[in-house]
């Protein structure tokens, strides 16, 4: 819903006969300013799980972020890649740091181009719909948990995440820098203060995210945090800096959402649920179709904005003043309303006694 509180300020009478929405993310070429964000347990939605994303990404030139909690084995995903295909790795940090070190260094040896460390999940949030499911399908579980005891009475997410280290802190960043040469990005920043600390810690980027709205209730979305983060970095002379990139994930459903984030300072955005829906319903072809829809929308919206290339999308093209207010009237999001079903209230039958 936050994206609907950002309004476009289009420019006219510009030659937009050709437009180019390609970009680079951490120095890696991408056909879109979008990467496939890490999501767990792909085989819950499709028998081939994350491999559907890998093959679609290869055909469309989009970068895939591999989840620590993927259903498919890490090496199986890399083995299914096309020559030269780019991957990032999302990392949940294990209590056993030796396991984490081996995992990270193996990923680097296999050619992964960026390490995205999730920092907003020292404990999994109370995901009540998930908890109602309880049972974990062994065939669709996380590959990283195979061979370990898994509790099945608290929902899928909690069952597979017991290894995550809640002691992870800023003091661990130098250790990560010592074990890998991959760019390090902190995924799950929710405030300007932590964005500043991340820059000062020497990482190469941050992802502004509220973890899909499934961690801390009422935490702001990434797009809402973006404005204050850019302002705080600029105030200290840290921004713009080509050595430090900002990404946003959560709630992106249209190319127009992506363009709003870019105008406000993001390099690219992560998209998760839309690609999940696509491969759950239609497999690899569904993901390719979803990416094609993004392409068509980029072409249309960039022309209507008056931007020939990503570099032409500037802050003056959006009005984001409403983002600072959480009590405003916004257009109803029919896409959201039609996709997500609210929890149903229990209905009690009147007794005939």
Identify whether 340 is part of a domain. no
42 appears as a binding residue in the annotation: no
Domain total of the chain: 1
180 appears as a binding residue in the annotation: no
159 appears as a binding residue in the annotation: no
The C-alpha atoms of residue 314 and residue 312 are separated, in whole angstroms, by 6
Identify whether 23 is part of a domain. yes
pLDDT at 342: 64
Enumerate the active-site residues.
211
Yes or no: say if 252 and 271 are a contact pair by the CB < 8 Å rule. Answer: yes
Identify whether 302 is part of a domain. yes
Instruction: Output 44-52 pairs: Cβ under 8 A, ≥24 positions apart.
Output: 44/71, 44/137, 44/140, 44/156, 45/276, 45/279, 45/280, 46/279, 46/280, 46/283, 48/72, 48/283, 48/284, 49/140, 50/77, 51/76, 51/77, 51/80, 52/279, 52/283, 52/284, 52/286, 52/287
127 appears as a binding residue in the annotation: yes
CA dihedral for 72, 135, 164, 100, sign (positive or negative): negative
Identify whether 344 is part of a domain. no
158 appears as a binding residue in the annotation: no
243 appears as a binding residue in the annotation: no
Identify whether 333 is part of a domain. no
Identify whether 336 is part of a domain. no
pLDDT at 63: 98
Reference 159, options 189, 183, 138, 188; nearest CA is 138
Show Cβ contacts of residue 278 under 8 Å, excluding neighbours closer than 6 positions. Answer: 286, 287, 289, 290
Site of tokens 């991408």 = 30
265 appears as a binding residue in the annotation: no
* Alpha helices, H only, the chain: 51-60, 74-79, 97-109, 128-133, 156-159, 173-179, 192-200, 222-235, 255-263, 273-305, 334-339
Beta bridge partners of 246: 206
The C-alpha atoms of residue 195 and residue 295 are separated, in whole angstroms, by 30
Please list the ranges in the chain whose pLDDT falls under 50.
none
**Domain residue limits at 124:** 2-322
253 appears as a binding residue in the annotation: yes
pLDDT at 225: 96
Q: Tokens in use for 115?
A: 């390490």
Identify whether 213 is part of a domain. yes
Residue 213 DSSP symbol = G
Beta bridge partners of 294: none
pTM for the whole structure = 0.88
Identify whether 97 is part of a domain. yes
What CATH number has the domain bearing residue 72?
A: 3.20.20.70
């Amino acid at each position: 819903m936050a994206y609907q509180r950002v309004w476009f300020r289009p420019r006219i009478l510009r030659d937009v006969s050709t437009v180019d929405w390609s970009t680079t993310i951490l120095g890696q070429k991408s056909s879109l300013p979008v990467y496939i964000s890490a999501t767990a347990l792909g085989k819950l939605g499709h028998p081939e799980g994350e491999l559907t994303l890998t093959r679609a990404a290869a055909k469309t030139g989009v970068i895939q972020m591999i989840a620590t909690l993927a259903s498919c084995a890490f090496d199986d995903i890399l083995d299914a890649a096309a020559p030269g295909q780019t991957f990032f790795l999302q990392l949940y940090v294990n209590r056993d740091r030796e396991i984490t070190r081996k995992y990270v260094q193996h990923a680097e040896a296999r050619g992964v181009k960026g390490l995205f460390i999730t920092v907003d999940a020292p404990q999994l949030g109370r995901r009540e719909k998930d908890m109602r499911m309880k049972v974990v399908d062994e065939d669709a579980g996380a590959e990283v948990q195979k061979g370990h005891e898994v509790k099945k009475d608290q929902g899928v997410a909690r069952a597979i995440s017991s290894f995550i280290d809640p002691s992870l802190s800023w003091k661990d960043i130098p250790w990560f820098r010592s074990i890998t040469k991959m760019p390090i990005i902190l995924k799950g920043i929710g405030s300007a203060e932590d964005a500043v600390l991340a820059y000062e810690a020497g990482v190469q980027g941050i992802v502004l995210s509220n973890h899909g709205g499934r961690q801390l209730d009422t935490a702001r979305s990434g797009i809402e945090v973006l404005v204050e983060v850019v302002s705080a970095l600029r105030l200290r002379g840290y921004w713009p800096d080509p050595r430090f990139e900002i990404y946003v994930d959560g709630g992106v459903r249209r190319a127009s959402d992506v363009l709003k984030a870019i105008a406000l300072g993001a390099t690219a955005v992560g998209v998760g649920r839309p690609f999940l829906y696509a491969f759950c319903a239609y497999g690899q072809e569904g993901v390719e179709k979803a990416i094609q829809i993004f392409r068509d929308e980029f072409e249309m919206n960039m022309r209507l904005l008056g931007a020939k290339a990503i570099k032409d999308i500037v802050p003056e093209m959006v009005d984001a003043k409403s983002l600072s207010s959480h009590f405003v009237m916004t257009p109803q999001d029919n896409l959201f309303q039609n996709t997500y079903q609210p929890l149903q209230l229990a209905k009690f039958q009147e007794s005939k006694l």
